[in-house]
Amino acid sequence: MPELRRILCPVDFSACSASAYRHALSLARHYRATLFVLHIVELWRYPSADFAASADSFEEFCRVLSEKSSERLQDFVKRYPIEEIKPECVVQRGDASDSILSFATAQHADMIVMGTHGRRGVDRLMLGSVTERVMRKASCPALVVRPPPHEVLSPGELRDPVHLRRILFCTDFSEAAHRALDYALSLMAEYGAELTLLHVLEDLPGSADPADATATVIEQLEKLIPPERRQTGGMKSVVHIGQPYQQIIQFASEAQTDLVIMAVHGRGALDLAVFGSTTYRVIQLGPCPVLVVPG
């Protein structure tokens, strides 16, 4: 089972960041992990920096900006207190995506938890955002969070700010998917959640019997369930036929899923097309956070 000892949550003080931070807090509590909260000061966002006439005045501007950002970050984490968790707050200057990736590598982060501002709709399937670039290059899993449509976040400042009751694991039976299953089983155990294993059949040959094809895949899915889980329950196998991202989104919406877990494959020259298809569509159009596990 994977161990989450060091969790990184970049924040930009938006509503999406707040949702992501509460998920990161919950994970840190369940796994007793160190939680790093990182804010990146990007100078290009502050036009007044152009008016710093000398090196001294520019450095003073940057110092004050960093101090104010640090104060704001401290105020941000105080809004969501959990007694057991003492997050380590860090402010850096630089490019957001590069700084997040460098920090994750330096701190040996086991997971990155981020909000996304990506717009919904097929015209914005490629996020073009910091979140997208981090997902592409991070060597550890990334949990991508947008504010959920149903009540996953606990109201108020409770002991655990997130309830994961229903988890959906999507598999294509690849080696990468097997690694992602380890995270699904671990999160299921930590949260006492129900876990659904879903495989989507597409391009079924015209001569194939859908019932026979479905039964064959159900058998494959059942083999993924650990023996001890077959006795205690809490897991089920589901097969749908159709376009993968549409079927995943439909199932997640109808089942009021709290978390989708998906694997992504290699980062090659076709990364833009491969990584951007099913995974991005589920992140952009789906109803809940998505945990992306690299192969």
Instruction: Kindly state the tokens that stand for 69.
Output: 């950002």
Look at residue 106 in the predicted model and tell me its pLDDT. Answer: 97
Within 8 A by CB and 6+ apart from 107, the residues are: 6, 8, 36
CB 144 within 8 A of CB 232: no
Q: What is the dihedral sign for C-alpha 205, 180, 193, 87?
A: negative
Q: Indicate the helix (H) or strand (E) that contains 212.
A: helix 210-224
Look at residue 2 in the predicted model and tell me its pLDDT. Answer: 86
Look at residue 126 in the predicted model and tell me its pLDDT. Answer: 44
pLDDT digits (tens, 9 = 90+) for 14-37: 888 999 999 999 999 999 999 999
Look at residue 160 in the predicted model and tell me its pLDDT. Answer: 78
- Domains of the chain with bracketed CATH: 1-153 (3.40.50.620), 164-295 (3.40.50.620)
Question: Which regions of the chain does DSSP assign to beta strands (E)?
Answer: 6-10, 34-41, 88-93, 111-115, 142-145, 166-170, 194-201, 235-241, 259-264, 290-294
Kindly give the parts of the chain with pLDDT less than 50. Answer: 120-128, 150-151, 155-157, 268-276
Look at residue 120 in the predicted model and tell me its pLDDT. Answer: 47
Look at residue 270 in the predicted model and tell me its pLDDT. Answer: 40
Look at residue 61 in the predicted model and tell me its pLDDT. Answer: 80
Instruction: Kindly state the tokens that stand for 177.
Output: 């998917």
- Angstrom distance (rounded) from CA 2 to CA 258: 20
Look at residue 90 in the predicted model and tell me its pLDDT. Answer: 97
Mean pLDDT value across the chain? 84
Report the b/e string of 162-176 with b at 16+ CB within 10 A. Answer: bbbebbbbbbeeeeb
Look at residue 154 in the predicted model and tell me its pLDDT. Answer: 52
- Angstrom distance (rounded) from CA 210 to CA 132: 36
Q: Residue type for 16, please?
A: C
